[in-house]
């Protein structure tokens, strides 16, 4: 694979030794780095949306091995205690998290973490375990990947139409091309897009059966946290909505209902939340206040950053999202450049 520009720069930094030197400088004011993973699968085996695949099992192993050598890795409870008492981190510290509660987290990622004794938190959107179904992006990707149609005429949300030639365009590329204009749209617009795709692709989706295949079961979730305090489960909302689009009472329902279901199903206290999507436009100050009122001790977002005690917002803990194309070198460069940016006082 030809490395991208960012990867190329990251490799250059590594070769010159600059990356290691910058890391050592950053270690003088250590913080908490939180990593986000989604699915860990072999992409050719993935019948759904490839953008939510974070790693193959092999690349996951190599990132985890690096995380283990680079960071101190306390459990979630130790981290929460430390944040709540505002104590500074004495060493570079990290937490591994997973969003969405897919089955591969249980079958593939958890055994790799367990073998190495690495703590992790799994954020679950409870509706998808209560009554399994596919998220809309996976449903759309599934239809496009299975279709025998030769082309699709897609009407964008702004009503402009474009053609996707399924005979010449690789399917993963076609999926991305079709989905891109809809990623930040309302659920009504997305429903229209799905109906249109269903008609054009001629693929029927057994939502329940595919959803059961995609997500972990409650038995698996219980087994995950059963034996030790190494793994914890948190809420990822009930129906994985964009919370910022909801009224205060609907947000309350999403956050309280998912917590209630998790605590009932797992017979454990659930203390943390990851906002679905997690970008700065996906939750609001009101969301943060509701999360605190509902009883969460902390909430994670998806804005990149290192959590330093003085600047830590307990209801917007920052995370680094790990995508398929992110090598260990690129992750190191992203973290280091974020650290430099923050310590230069030009924090966003």
Residues that bind Zn ion (CB under 5 A): 99-100
Report the residue number, 100 or 104, with the smaller CB distance to Zn ion: 100
| 174 φψ region: left (φ > 0), alpha (ψ -120 to 50), beta (else) | alpha
| CB of 36 or CB of 312, closer to Zn ion | 36
**138 or 339, CB closer to Zn ion?**
138
Please state whether beta strands 151-155 and 161-165 pair in parallel, antiparallel, or not at all (unpaired): antiparallel
| Placement of tokens 């995609």 in the chain | 214
Alpha carbon distances (Å) from 96 to 34, 186, 243, 310? 6, 31, 23, 22
Angle at 36 between CA 218 and CA 183, to 5 degrees: 90
Residue 317 and residue 310: Cα distance in Å, rounded? Answer: 13
Q: Which DSSP state fits 111?
A: H
**Residues 156, 229: Cα–Cα separation, whole Å:** 47
Residue 239 or 312 having the CB closest to Zn ion: 239
Distances (CA, A) of 36 to 52, 98, 183, 231: 11, 6, 19, 15
Task: Give the span between the Cα atoms of 57 and 312, in whole angstroms.
Answer: 32
Name residue, tokens 């987290």: 105
Query: With respect to Zn ion, which residue has the nearer C-beta, 129 or 166?
Result: 129
Q: Give whichever of 239 and 327 is closer to Zn ion, judged by the CB atom.
A: 239
As measured in angstroms, the least distance from the Cβ of 240 to Zn ion is 6
Q: Which residue, 127 or 166, is less far from Zn ion as judged by CB?
A: 127
Instruction: Report which residue's Cβ sits closest to Zn ion.
Output: 99
In whole angstroms, what is the distance from residue 254 CA to residue 244 CA? 12
* Phi–psi pair at 330, nearest 5 degrees: -70, -40
Segment holding 144, helix H or strand E: helix 136-146
Q: For the purposes of burial, counting CB atoms within 10 Å of the CB of 90, is it exposed (0-12), middle (13-18) or buried (19 or more)?
A: exposed
| Sheet strands (E) in 117-227 | 120-124, 151-155, 161-165
* Cβ–Cβ < 8 Å for 269, 295: no
- Least Å distance, CB 242 to Zn ion, is 11
Q: How far is the CB of 215 from Zn ion (least distance, A)?
A: 12
Q: How far is the CB of 37 from Zn ion (least distance, A)?
A: 11
Report how far residue 107's alpha carbon sits from residue 104's, in angstroms, rounded to the nearest whole number: 5
SS3 72: strand
Distance of closest approach, residue 310 Cβ to Zn ion, in angstroms: 29
CB of 300 to Zn ion, least distance (A): 11
CB nearer Zn ion, residue 7 or residue 207: 207
Residue 89 vs 215, nearer CB to Zn ion = 215
Nearer Cβ to Zn ion (282/342): 282
Task: Report yes or no: 110 and 116 within 8 Å, Cβ to Cβ.
Answer: no
Min dist. Cβ of residue 239 to Zn ion (A): 11
Work out how close the CB of 246 gets to Zn ion at its nearest, in angstroms, rounded to a whole number. 16
């Amino acid at each position: 694979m030809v490395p991208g520009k960012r990867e190329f720069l990251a490799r250059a930094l590594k070769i010159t030794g600059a990356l290691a030197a910058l890391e050592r400088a950053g270690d003088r004011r250590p913080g908490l780095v939180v990593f986000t993973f989604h699915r860990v699968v072999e992409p050719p085996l993935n019948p759904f949306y490839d953008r939510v695949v974070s790693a193959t099992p092999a690349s996951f192993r190599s990132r985890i091995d690096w995380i283990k050598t680079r960071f101190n890795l306390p459990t979630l409870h130790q981290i929460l205690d430390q944040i709540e008492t505002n104590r500074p981190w004495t060493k570079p510290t990290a937490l591994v998290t997973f969003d969405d509660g897919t089955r591969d987290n249980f079958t593939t990622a958890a055994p790799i973490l367990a073998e190495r004794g690495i703590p992790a938190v799994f954020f679950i959107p409870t509706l998808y375990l209560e009554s399994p179904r596919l998220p809309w992006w996976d449903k759309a990707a599934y239809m496009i990947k299975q279709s025998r149609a030769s082309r699709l005429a897609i009407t964008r949300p702004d009503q402009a139409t474009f053609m996707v030639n399924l005979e010449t365009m690789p399917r993963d590329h076609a999926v991305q091309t079709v989905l891109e204009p809809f990623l930040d749209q309302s659920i009504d617009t997305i429903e229209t897009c799905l109906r249109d795709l269903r008609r054009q692709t001629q693929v029927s989706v057994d939502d329940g059966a595919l959803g059961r295949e995609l997500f972990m079961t409650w038995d698996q979730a219980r087994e995950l946290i059963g034996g030790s305090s190494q793994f914890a489960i948190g809420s990822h909302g009930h129906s994985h909505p964009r919370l910022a689009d909801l009224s205060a009472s609907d947000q309350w329902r999403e956050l309280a209902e998912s917590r209630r279901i998790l605590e009932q199903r797992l017979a454990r206290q659930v203390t943390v939340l990851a906002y679905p999507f997690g970008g700065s436009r996906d939750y609001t100050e009101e969301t943060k206040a509701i999360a605190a009122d509902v009883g969460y001790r902390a909430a994670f977002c998806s804005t990149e950053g290192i959590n330093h005690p003085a600047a830590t917002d307990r209801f917007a803990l920052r995370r680094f999202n790990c995508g398929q194309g992110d090598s260990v070198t690129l992750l190191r460069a992203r973290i280091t450049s974020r650290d430099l940016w923050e310590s230069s006082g030009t924090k966003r």
